[in-house]
């Protein structure tokens, strides 16, 4: 087994070209129009200059192989306390491991895009150009739905592994998941100091990535997720932290194939970890 792990400060993959920033801003405006359908209030303000981002990444065959990088990101800056559900705090972090999602909001059913700002308030709303989102079923469920997206393809339970059993998460009919942040349980837009996610079955060097944008649509940082050393069931983690709460939108590209057939590189997600949402001033 070969495990890759690093905790680095890097800005090698940042884009500073005007054309790319313009394109990112245009896409952001389109997403905001869609998010507005939830009745959310978005306020724009200029952001301060950024220091170099802090990158935490690892890949391996088992959860233990990425645990050190995950824990290091959990303790980045003032992230140390997991603030759980609801409330608002000056410091700390939020986590989503999907395992508390009820059966009625899990496969074969869809997960509402605002579930984690409404039903279980943790200050994030999702968007995808696909047809929605799904959380995989538990082993015991009222509809006898197969675990780890076996309801979509019977091969998937053998391809996908969990970091925190049992549920996984994915967009449907798209590889894109975008995350907008709010003061938990409110319509007040917010920014965060960093975001990380666990992925399963990343096989290619360039199929999966996370992009970080500020409130004006400028790309702050982009990085590809490390592929796992195994062809099936491997796990990867990427977390990026910033010195200020400058991240307004996080765009995840999970694989280069939609969740339909077991082709390379189909990728789904487990735990999300991000800084406590801070209100735009």
Q: Domain segments of the chain: what residues?
A: 4-279
Decide if pLDDT at 33 tops 80. Answer: no
Residues 103-116 have pLDDT tens digits of 999 999 999 999 99
Question: Rounded mean pLDDT of 184-207?
Answer: 97
Three-class DSSP labels, the chain? CCCEEEEEECCCCCCCCHHHHHHHHHHHHHHHHHHHHHCCECCCCCCCCCCCCEEEEEEECCHHHHHHHHHHHHCCCCCCCECCCCCCCCCCEEEECCCCCCHHHCCCCCECCCCCCCCCCCCEEEECCCCEEEECECCCCCCCCCECCCCCCCCHHHHCCCCCCCCCEEEECCCEEEEEEECCCCCEEEEECEEEEEEECCCCCCCCEEEEECCCCCEEEEEECCCCCCCCCCEEEEEEECCCCCECEEEEECECCCECECCCCECEEEEEEEECCEECC
- Please report the pLDDT score of residue 258 as a whole number: 96
Both tokens assigned to 185? 């349980």
- Please report the pLDDT score of residue 263 as a whole number: 78
More confident site: 196 or 47:
196
Question: Rounded mean pLDDT of 181-200?
Answer: 98
Across the chain, what does the average pLDDT equal?
87
pTM: 0.85
Rounded to an integer, what is the distance from CA 42 to the centroid of its chain?
21
Question: Rounded mean pLDDT of 28-41?
Answer: 46
- Please report the pLDDT score of residue 5 as a whole number: 42
Decide if pLDDT at 220 tops 80. Answer: yes
- pLDDT-based confidence at 32, cuts 50/70/90? low
Q: What percent of the chain is modeled with pLDDT above 70? A: 81
- Please report the pLDDT score of residue 4 as a whole number: 40
- In angstroms, the Cα distances linking 131 to 37, 90, 100 are 15, 35, 23
- pLDDT-based confidence at 52, cuts 50/70/90? confident
């Amino acid at each position: 087994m070969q495990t890759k792990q690093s905790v680095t400060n890097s800005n090698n993959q940042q884009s500073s070209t005007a054309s790319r920033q313009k394109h990112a801003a245009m896409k952001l405006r389109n997403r905001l129009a869609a998010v507005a359908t939830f009745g959310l209030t978005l306020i724009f303000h200029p952001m301060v200059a950024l220091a170099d981002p802090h990158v935490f990444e690892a890949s391996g065959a088992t959860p233990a192989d990425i645990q050190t990088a995950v824990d290091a990101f959990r303790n980045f800056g003032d992230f140390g306390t997991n603030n759980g559900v609801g409330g608002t705090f000056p410091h700390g972090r939020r986590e989503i491991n999907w395992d508390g999602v009820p059966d009625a909001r899990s496969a074969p059913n869809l997960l509402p895009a605002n579930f984690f700002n409404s039903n279980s308030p943790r200050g994030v709303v999702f968007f995808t150009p696909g047809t929605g989102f799904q959380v995989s079923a538990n082993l015991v469920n009222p509809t006898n739905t197969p675990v780890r997206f076996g309801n979509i393809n019977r091969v998937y339970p053998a391809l996908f592994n969990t970091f925190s059993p049992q549920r996984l998460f994915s967009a449907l009919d798209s590889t894109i998941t975008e995350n907008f942040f709010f003061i938990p349980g409110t319509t007040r837009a917010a920014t965060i100091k960093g975001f990380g996610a666990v992925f399963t079955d990343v096989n290619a060097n360039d199929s999966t990535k996370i992009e970080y944008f500020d409130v004006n649509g400028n790309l702050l940082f982009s990085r590809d997720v490390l592929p796992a050393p195994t062809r099936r069931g491997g796990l990867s983690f990427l977390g990026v932290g910033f010195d200020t709460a400058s991240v307004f939108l996080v765009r995840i590209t999970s694989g280069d194939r939609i969740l339909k057939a077991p082709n390379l590189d189909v990728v789904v997600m487990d735990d999300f970890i991000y800084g406590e949402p801070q209100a735009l001033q």
